[in-house]
Structure 1
Amino acid sequence: MAMFLFFSGLFNFYLYKGSYKQQFLQQFERLKATSRIMDRNMDRNHRIETLKLWGAAIKQKDWSTFYDAIQRSNPWFNVDSVELALSGVCRYLDPSKLDQWSQSYQLKTGNTGTVGLILAGNIPLVGIHDFICLVAAGNRAKIKLSSQDQILLPLLYQELVNIEPRIKEFFSFTNKISVGEIDAIISTGSDNTSRYIKFYYQDIPQIIRSNRTSVAVIKGDENSDQLTELGADMFSYFGKGCRNISKIWVPPSYDFTKYISNNRRFTKLLKNSKYNSNYNYQRALYRTQGMEYIDTGYSLFYQSKEVVSPLSVVFYDFYHNLDQLNAMISLEKEKTQCIASAEGWFGQSYPFGSLQKPDIWDYADNLDTMTFLLKL
């Protein structure tokens, strides 16, 4: 009966979509062949197939009716940012990538461990990858949302419940996660928050992520397309994410003119009053202190040895050879999420334009969340 109700619910869902009826029928046959109902836990194959259907539902849903409410709750979450985040979720849930990713692990029928998930709110859906890992691994979870991101994940979660109602047995949202309620903790937040979380949950397994940023290496011969992609890596999500570039290394006498001319589209950032205030404040600060800077009209380039820059500012510094460059980057390893370069020419770097398009197997801080969960 449970199997019948589950697939009947899926059928009604896809029938409502009309043109996706054939897609549903194909998914239905595959799910029927690979899924089986357990007493308390969902079969590993069933969980992956459910994630695929969730991705299809997210991709086809019109989310625009929620945009105003989301932006009212957090002015940083404008339409561009929300749509970029949703496209990222769909990329994670791409069927072929989910198969490739999940097959690299020895997934269990289900894990009995309960995980606490404490989420950040600097960009929309910043914790969605952890959530997907929890579904795939079969863990239960207690989730504490950031006060800055209270709407999006519950909305997506409801779509998942519509597809597989038993998900509600695995996940709950809460304002507080006590030590005795969980077997492990995954947390993302500021350096100060991370220190507190690490101490408070010191007796259980942890993944604790703190402030990180991304950096880039410029050769000086980048073409217009590459510089445009670099701009996206800097200023998507207003530059607030750990995969946003906040520091670049450039050759001596590098001319910023070509970069500036290829990224004027980001003047639209100034429409956000919070970003505009940050930009004007930093410019006034540098000016009154007699500090030299390069003004793009919406952001500032400022020479510094540091890698974590204020909002609306990108730090830069010079390198004279690759040995020197490697040494400088190595010093900032613990604060660096990603390194980017044109077409990924620099060792262990991502191509410009790819930092905000991570795949399901790209783990924050290079900590394999799935391996962590499967050991619980």
Structure 2
Amino acid sequence: MSKIDINNTINTFAELGKRLANPDEALMGIINTERQYNAWFTPESVLSAVKATGEMLNSTDLSQWLAKYNITEAKGKRIGLVLAGNIPLVGFHDVLCVLVSGNHALIKASSQDARLIKYVLNLLVEVDSSYADKSSFVERLVDFDAIIATGSNNTSRYFEYYFGKVPNIIRKNRNSIALLTGNESTEELHALGNDIFDYFGLGCRNVSKLLVPAGYNFNSFFEAIEDFHPIINHHKYNNNYDYNKSIYLVNGDQHLDNGFLMLKQDERLTSPLAVLFYDIYESLDSAQETLLQQSEQLQCIVTTAAIKTQNQQVPFGQSQHPQLWDYADGVDTMEFLSTLS
């Protein structure tokens, strides 16, 4: 086993972070053409994801993050990664964890997001050529020592069947929720718009449901998010809006509608695109109890309320800006990788 120079690792990924936070002409070329391959990956969405990843990779946070783990020697384990492709670069954190823990990343990229992740790893090799042989893209995963796979509730059953005999992290559907108290400022409600609409609401960290107090008036919420109206100009989002609106109208389902987002009272967590579900609570204690019961289905909770939950809590507008230690599903990927025998 070769030794790992943590300081060099930190410097390498901090330099990669700078390049992503300030994209050059070549990277902007990728950013601006992604929508030719995936209509949801607009230049604005891709640029936002690339910059958010760049900001995450700063030397201060990298040092704080890695200090928690005993990473001294490269184990060189072959870690199979099944990456999601719902939002740009969504699988990068898993790749990062495999590389900094001294293992080899066998990457089964999503067809929805293959070009961007490949480009970022080529940038990494430009920064430090020693990473040239530490990752590979594959069509089929074979000869692996462990697996990290992200998918839906349906695909997770297949993952458990195929990969159950090796150490694994298998992720299922999760949603994020916002708990409102009725005391939010206009600025906070406007920031909540980012939690709802960033990446068109396609991410597991996007808010798909609101918990609101009894008697809550949605007027201030609708007024605060009016700036997000241009989202309706995206043809795929517009198609989803029109489709769900027609279903609600035909079925006579009660709902609120501001012309680009519909609100519907529903106990489920997963709302259709262009729809936000909501539920009503009688007290913060009862809301807290609801969130505790749903913790296995939640990714993060957007709120400023003083509650105790098992999920990560984030301030308004920050759900799509996770830090290095904000692990998907609350499972510590680095702990898993650094303790593989």
1:281 aligned residue = 243
1:345 aligned residue = 306
**Matched residue SS, 2:270:** coil
Residue pairs, 1:141-220, within 5 angstroms? 141-178=105-142, 181-220=143-182
Q: Deviations over 1:109-149 (max 9, x none)?
A: 21221100110011000011111111211101110110111
Distance 2:178 2:91 in 1: 24
Contact 2:31 2:47 (8 Å CA) reproduced:
no
2:325 aligned residue = 361
**Any gaps of 5 or more consecutive residues in structure 2?**
none
2:256 aligned residue = 294
2:218 aligned residue = 256
1:9 aligned residue = none
2:271 is the alignment partner of 1:309: yes
Q: Which moved more, 1:122-131 or 1:52-61?
A: 52-61
| Offset of residue 42 of structure 1 | 5.1
Q: TM-score, normalised by structure 2?
A: 0.94
Q: Deviations over 1:285-337 (max 9, x none)?
A: 00100011000211110001111111111100111112321232223221101
2:53 aligned residue = 89
Contact 1:134 1:373 (8 Å CA) reproduced:
yes
Distance 1:220 1:344 in 2: 10
Contact 2:21 2:55 (8 Å CA) reproduced:
no
Contact 1:307 1:332 (8 Å CA) reproduced:
no
Contact 2:83 2:91 (8 Å CA) reproduced:
yes
| Offset of residue 67 of structure 1 | 2.9
Select which of 51, 54, 70 maps to 2:34. Answer: 70
2:198 is the alignment partner of 1:236: yes
**Matched residue SS, 1:169:** coil
Contact 2:2 2:73 (8 Å CA) reproduced:
no
Distance 1:83 1:306 in 2: 32
| Identical-residue share of aligned pairs (%) | 38
Contact 1:133 1:370 (8 Å CA) reproduced:
yes
Contact 1:344 1:351 (8 Å CA) reproduced:
no
Q: Give the letter for the 1:46 counterpart.
A: N
Distance 1:56 1:304 in 2: 43
Contact 2:20 2:51 (8 Å CA) reproduced:
no
**Matched residue SS, 1:247:** strand
Contact 2:19 2:54 (8 Å CA) reproduced:
no
Q: Give the letter for the 1:345 counterpart.
A: A
Q: Deviations over 1:63-108 (max 9, x none)?
A: 3222332111101011221122112211221111111111111112
1:56 aligned residue = 18
Distance 2:224 2:132 in 1: 48
The structure whose Rg is larger is: 1
| Offset of residue 40 of structure 1 | 5.8
Distance 2:83 2:55 in 1: 20
| Offset of residue 169 of structure 1 | 1.3
Distance 2:65 2:289 in 1: 33
**Matched residue SS, 2:252:** coil
1:108 aligned residue = 72
Q: 1:262 to 1:168 in 2, by over 3 A?
A: same
Distance 1:52 1:344 in 2: 34
**Matched residue SS, 1:74:** coil
**Matched residue SS, 2:73:** coil
**Matched residue SS, 1:67:** helix
Q: Give the letter for the 1:82 counterpart.
A: V
Distance 2:64 2:195 in 1: 26
**Matched residue SS, 2:55:** helix
| Offset of residue 41 of structure 1 | 6.2
1:15 aligned residue = none
Distance 1:164 1:42 in 2: 14
Distance 2:178 2:322 in 1: 16
1:46 aligned residue = 8
Distance 1:332 1:103 in 2: 32
Distance 1:47 1:263 in 2: 41
Contact 1:344 1:352 (8 Å CA) reproduced:
no
| Offset of residue 275 of structure 1 | 0.7
2:62 aligned residue = 98
Contact 1:121 1:146 (8 Å CA) reproduced:
yes
2:84 aligned residue = 120
